[in-house]
Chain A
Amino acid sequence: MDRRAFVLVALLVLACVLGLVAYNYLLTQKTVLRVSTTTSLYATGLLERLADEFRKTHPDVVIQFIPVGSGEALRKASMGDADLVLVHAPNLEQKYINDGLLIEGGIFAYNYFVIVGPLSDPANIKGLDNATEAFRKIFEAGEKGEALFVSRGDNSGTHNRELFIWRKTGLNPRGEWYIESGSGMAQTLQIANEKEAYTLSDIGTYLKLKKTGVINNLEILVSGDPDLINIYSVYIVNPKKINGIKYDLAKEFREFLLGTEGQKIIGEYGVEDYGANLFYPVDPSKLNELKSIWRYFASS
């Protein structure tokens, strides 16, 4: 390689590096709030929408979302790598609350899990309003080799709820009909679609995929059971336990989420695109009921 080429490559690399450094320097001039969050919530686009609105009144704040599973989000927050956490796994949350790592919990949204399955419905669960009963029927059909079930198997909020319902049935799903995908909701639905299997899904991811036409073999078979309520909570990482937490800013964003502005955005988000609510805001009259449902799942 001749000298000119070397200089050219060096200049290009230098330009890239300077760009990166300058850009990051500009960002560090602002206050950064780090939020670890469940992927299913982030993937709907709701959080960026909320952050954009929050920034209108806080122009010097940058909100950085770290989208991971609920289990990982809680773990990372408890290690001090986030200021705020948004999750939907009450039984996991409870451990961190007990350890005093997460404080000032608040329910900011809820929606429903649904049991989806193939149009042929070999376990004959369509129209049931009881998730436990539906799972029992899927188990029986599975043992006979007539049905398949795909589990997330990843300690996510959805996976924890699925296990909760299995515990209620008193059955232990094992065997070839019980498939553990170990991947996210979209991939799990895709697997269920390919294998004509049943699965438990959050309504948001299901509606989104249904609309794009990649899961045409699946439909919602069971919904509306209180056991299927999906509760999203916000927590601040305890600044007394972990140094460097931006408590004041975290509190402001928490108040925004729970306040009228935030709640309005949550209630309206996605309705136009999907013809249904992706999330429901927390009506003050329903708060106590949601709290008791949360406690019910947390103690499970």
Chain B
Amino acid sequence: MIDINALIEITARSLAISGLATLFASLWSIPIAILLSIGQRRWARLLIAIFNSLVGVPTVIIGLLLYLLLSRSGPLGILSLLYTPYAIVVGQALLITPLMISFGVEVIGVRAKNLIEMSLTFGASTTQLLLTIIEEASTRIMAVSILGFQRAVGELGVALMLGGNIRGFTRVFTTAIALEIQKGEFELAIYLGIILILVDFIVIMILRILGWRK
């Protein structure tokens, strides 16, 4: 049946990879989202529309494009990133960026606009403004990050194309589930799916509780 050590290992690896991807994606997505929602100009709205439409790009397409880049015969082949956990981190971070920006513009934007009007009266600089917004809208930012994490941890295309589903190295929840289905072990695949949901739930509860304490 389920090898408990393998299960713990897959869980830890999935969380580390997708957590790291979310962290990186947050570093650029959230400032971009804030800047775009502040920006009143036409190009800002155009960019928002572009990010909106990129949310729906199939994960395998991102996986395939990055595979061609990172392949030994591709332009970035010398980095030897392909079939390592880092390749999945890069892929998932790119994958969730449009989603985090789009959602960020919606939920942080409203809060940000109020703060700007307030801050402008105090004559704050752009950097100070950005920091104020990040501090004041932390719960919303957390919500954006959680959504990004969810998309990262639940996607299959990038993990399969860039990680290769190598046992003990790049096997994560979704690729393990796909493999069990290929093997015909449908029950095991469902158990893994349930565990994935439970782990997700626990992670989010911890983050939410920490957020509520404010």
Give the shortest distance, in Å, between A78 (CB) and chain B (any CB): 9
Q: Which of A9, A17, A65, A81 is the one whose CB lies under 8 Å from B71?
A: A81
CB-contact partner of B183 in A13, A24, A208, under 8 A? A208
Query: Shortest distance in angstroms between B36's beta carbon and chain A's nearest beta carbon?
Result: 23
Q: Do residues B73 and A80 form an inter-chain contact, with CB atoms below 8 A? A: yes
Cβ contacts under 8 Å, A79 to chain B:
71-74
Contact partner of B19 among A13, A187, A242, CB < 8 A? Answer: A13
| Cβ contact of A185, chosen from B82, B83, B182, B207, cutoff 8 A | B182
Is A152 located at the chain interface by the 8 A CB criterion? no
* Residue A165 CB within 8 A of the other chain: no
Interface hits, B184-214 → A, CB 8 Å = 184-186, 207, 210-211, 213-214
Interface residues of B, count at CB 8 A: 38
The verdict on B59 contacting chain A, using a C-beta distance below 8 Å, is no
CA distance A285 to B211 in the complex (A): 71
CA–CA, A76 and B70, complex, Å:
12
Q: Is B16 in contact with A20, judged by CB distance below 8 angstroms?
A: yes
Chain A interface mostly: helix
Known: A1-B214, A27-B169, A242-B73. A13 touches B181 (CB 8 A): no
Query: Which of the residues A65, A66, A184, A244 comes within 8 Å of B72, measured between beta carbons?
Result: A244
User: Nearest CB to that of A67 among chain B residues?
Assistant: B165
Q: Is B142 an interface residue (CB 8 A)?
A: yes
Residues of B within 8 A of A212 (CB): 184-185
A25 to B91 Cα, complex, angstroms: 21
**Inter-chain contacts of B167 with A (CB < 8 A):** 48, 64-65
> B169: shortest Cβ distance to chain A, in Å?
6
Contact check, B166 vs A9: say whether CB atoms are below 8 A apart: no
The closest CB in chain A to the CB of B178 belongs to: A184
Which one, A27, A34, A186, contacts B182 given CB within 8 A? Answer: A186
Is chain B's binding surface mostly helix, strand, loop or mixed?
helix
Those of A185-230 within 8 Å (CB) of chain B: 185-187, 189-190, 205, 208-209, 212, 214
Contact between A80 and B83, CB atoms less than 8 A apart: no
In angstroms, how far is the closest chain A Cβ from the Cβ of B76? Answer: 13
Interface flag for A276 (CB, 8 Å): no
Residues of chain B contacted by A8 (CB below 8 angstroms): 210
Per-position binary interface string of chain B over residues 4-48, scored 1 when its CB falls under 8 Å from any chain A CB and 0 otherwise:
000000001101110110010000000000000000000000000
Q: Is B164 an interface residue (CB 8 A)?
A: yes
Q: Could you tell me if A80 and B72 are in contact, using CB atoms closer than 8 angstroms?
A: yes
Q: How distant is the Cα of A2 from the Cα of B186 in the complex, in angstroms?
A: 44
Contact between A1 and B138, CB atoms less than 8 A apart: yes
B77 within 8 A of partner (CB): yes
In this complex, how many residues of chain A approach chain B with their Cβ under 8 Å: the count is 39
Q: Does A119 touch B at the CB level, under 8 Å? A: no
* A194→B40 CA distance, assembly (Å): 56
Whether B179 pairs with A67 at a CB distance below 8 angstroms is yes
CB distance from B137 to the nearest CB of A (A): 11
Contacts of B19 in A (CB 8 A): 13, 16-17
Q: Is the CB of B210 within 8 A of A13?
A: no
Which partner residue on chain B sits nearest A27 by CB separation? B169
Q: Mark A1-42, 1 if CB is under 8 A from B, else 0.
A: 110010011000100110110001001000000100001000
Contact check, A20 vs B20: say whether CB atoms are below 8 A apart. yes
Is the CB of B139 closer than 8 A to any CB of chain A? yes
Q: Are B12 and A209 in contact (CB under 8 A)?
A: no
For residue A243, CB closer than 8 A to chain B, the reply is: yes
CA distance in complex: A25, B104 (Å): 35
Question: Does A171 reach chain B (CB closer than 8 Å)?
Answer: no
CB distance from B117 to the nearest CB of A (A): 24
Beyond A62-B169, A186-B182, 4 additional contacts (C-beta under 8 Å) are A17-B20, A27-B169, A43-B184, A66-B165
Could you list 10 A-B pairs, sorted by A, with CB under 8 Å?
Answer: A1-B138, A2-B214, A17-B16, A20-B13, A20-B20, A20-B85, A34-B83, A66-B166, A81-B71, A212-B184
Q: Taking beta carbons and an 8 Å cutoff, which residues of A are in contact with B? A: 1-2, 5, 8-9, 13, 16-17, 19-20, 24, 27, 34, 39, 43, 48, 62, 64-67, 76, 79-81, 184-187, 189-190, 205, 208-209, 212, 214, 242-244
Of all A-B residue pairs in the complex, the 5 with the closest CB atoms, nearest first, are A80-B72, A186-B184, A5-B210, A66-B164, A16-B16
